[in-house]
Amino acid sequence: VLFRIMNVPHYRQGSKWVIYPMYDYAHPISDAIENITHSLCTLEFEDHRPLYDWCLEKLPVPSRPVQIEFARLNLSYTVLSKRKLLTLVTEGLVNGWDDPRMPTLSGLRRRGYTPEAIRNFCDSIGVAKRDAIVDVAQLEHAIRDDLNKRSQRVMAVLRPLRVVIENYPEGQTEELDAVNNPEDANAGTRKVPFSRVLYIEQEDFRENPPKQFFRLAPGREVRLRYAYFITCTQVVKDAAGNVAELRCTYDPATRGGDSPDGRSPKATLHWVSAAHAVPAEARLYDRLFNEERPDNDSRINPSSLEVVGSCQVEPSLKSAKPGDRFQFERIGYFCVDLDSKPGALVFNRTVTLRDTWAKIEKSLKK
């Protein structure tokens, strides 16, 4: 079938033309007129190629393009069908086409993906003739690899726990040197302020630590990144019995993170100075679906977005602009979101530092 006849007025041309070309007729002609050399189609157009070639052979067209078919890209834990993506948007399951969980270019850009990472991912998987599902971990590896080379390292505490260093002078502030990017010798260093009151991550402390927990605990010494060794001496709790504050001491001889006597704590923690920290919001994005091959009945992963509103980040981030990318040390890669405003920074998690899903899946299979 090359044409169809429709006796209804055209919205522009009126009723003077009632013959309309079918796709199989318009496709080769438009390619030839526009001097397309290769028309790349998905596999369902393979059966249409004989008609494509026949039209070009029979018509006086200026060129002879070639149709080539390839398999669609399918990613695990998400959907790439525009129809299914539209359903997610219209039903309010995501916040628009540029939602950072969406596998759209606008969504990936807002999440912090770089053009180079996407191109490297496409190069790594190649072009196939048979439908297959590509593990989304390959895409995540591509962005980790790219951001590892280009992202400035910063310290950010998502869930703060207050730490008071009792033997550090009140009112004193030091500026310590921090490496911007160990992968880039030209990235230089920056100054980070250190003071008597700090914030560390809540998960970096255990009052009764399990056997393999080497971070901070009562009586234990740890290293603060770029700073000093500290030892927890007291745990302060609130009325509900929750840990509200830690009292610690520091060793002045360990400035920069090394000890003159050669001792080396098993854990190094990131931190921010409470007096200098900048409040921020972090949006922790994860995979859109829990199922590797989601279908029409699959439900959205309830943990695909977690908003953490009480973050504290180092002061160098105060001037960060939408689109800027950083590595939050020990946490993951983050991008400044479009919703950010002066004094109200919003960061989107692009990807974690490691593939935590691999561990989760392994535990589920046991």
Q: What distance in Å separates the CA atoms of residue 266 and residue 282, rounded to the nearest whole number?
A: 28
- Give the per-residue pLDDT at 10: 87
Average pLDDT, the chain: 94
Contact indicator for 159, 270 with CB cutoff of 8 Å: no
In CATH, what number does 3-70 get? 3.40.50.620
Q: What is the pLDDT of residue 280?
A: 98
Give CA–CA dist 22/236, Å, rounded.
76
State mean pLDDT over 297-325: 94
Report the CATH number of the 73-155+277-366 domain. 2.40.240.10
Mean of pLDDT values over 317-322: 96
CB-based burial label for 156 (10 Å; 0-12, 13-18, 19+)? buried
Nearest Cα to 319, choosing from 343, 283, 349, 350?
343
Q: What is the pLDDT of residue 363?
A: 63
Average pLDDT of the segment spanning 7-35: 92
CA proximity to 104, closest of 288, 283, 282: 288
pLDDT of residue 130: 87
Confidence (pLDDT) at 366: 57
Query: Concatenated DSSP letters for 144-181?
Result: HHHHHHHPEEE-EESSEEEEEETTSPTT--EEEEEES-
Look at residue 356 in the predicted model and tell me its pLDDT. 57
Residue 296 pLDDT grade (very low, low, confident, very high; cuts 50, 70, 90): confident
Q: Is the pLDDT of residue 354 over 90?
A: no
What pTM was estimated for this model as a whole? Answer: 0.86
What residue spans in the chain does CATH classification 2.40.240.10 cover? 73-155+277-366, 157-270
Long-range contact pairs involving 240-246 (C-beta distance under 8 Å, separation at least 24): 243/161, 243/202, 243/205, 243/207, 244/162, 245/161, 245/162, 245/163, 245/164, 246/161, 246/162, 246/163, 246/164, 246/200, 246/205, 246/216
Fold of 157-270: Ribosomal Protein L25; Chain P (2.40.240)
Contact of 203 with 157, CB cutoff 8 Å? no
> What does the pLDDT average to over 50-59?
96
The residue-averaged pLDDT of 290-301 equals 86
Among the listed residues 237, 266, 257, 254, the one whose alpha carbon sits nearest the alpha carbon of residue 161: 237
Which 8-state DSSP code applies to residue 278? E
Helix or strand (DSSP H, E) at 56: helix 49-58
- Which pLDDT belongs to residue 295? 84
Q: How many Å from the N-terminal Cα to the C-terminal Cα in the chain?
A: 56
137 and 357 in contact (C-beta within 8 Å)? Answer: yes
* pLDDT value of position 33: 97
pLDDT at site 11: 87
| pLDDT at 361 (0 to 100) | 54
Where along the chain do the CATH 3.40.50.620 domains lie? 3-70
pLDDT tens, position by position, 61-81: 999 999 999 998 899 999 999
pLDDT higher than 60, residue 316:
yes
Encode pLDDT of 128-187 as tens digits.
888 889 999 999 999 999 999 999 999 999 999 999 999 999 999 999 999 999 999 899
Tell me, what's the pLDDT at 234? Answer: 98
**pLDDT tens-digit map of 225-243:** 999 999 999 999 999 999 9
pLDDT at residue 299, as a whole number: 85
Query: Sign of the C-alpha dihedral, residues 343, 329, 194, 188?
Result: negative
d(CA 340, CA 280): 9
What are 79-114's pLDDT values in tens digits? 999 999 999 999 999 999 999 999 999 999 999 999
Residues 6+ apart with CB under 8 A from 11: none
Q: What is the pLDDT of residue 246?
A: 98
Q: Which residues pair with 199 in a beta bridge?
A: 162, 272
Q: What is the SS3 assignment for 27?
A: helix
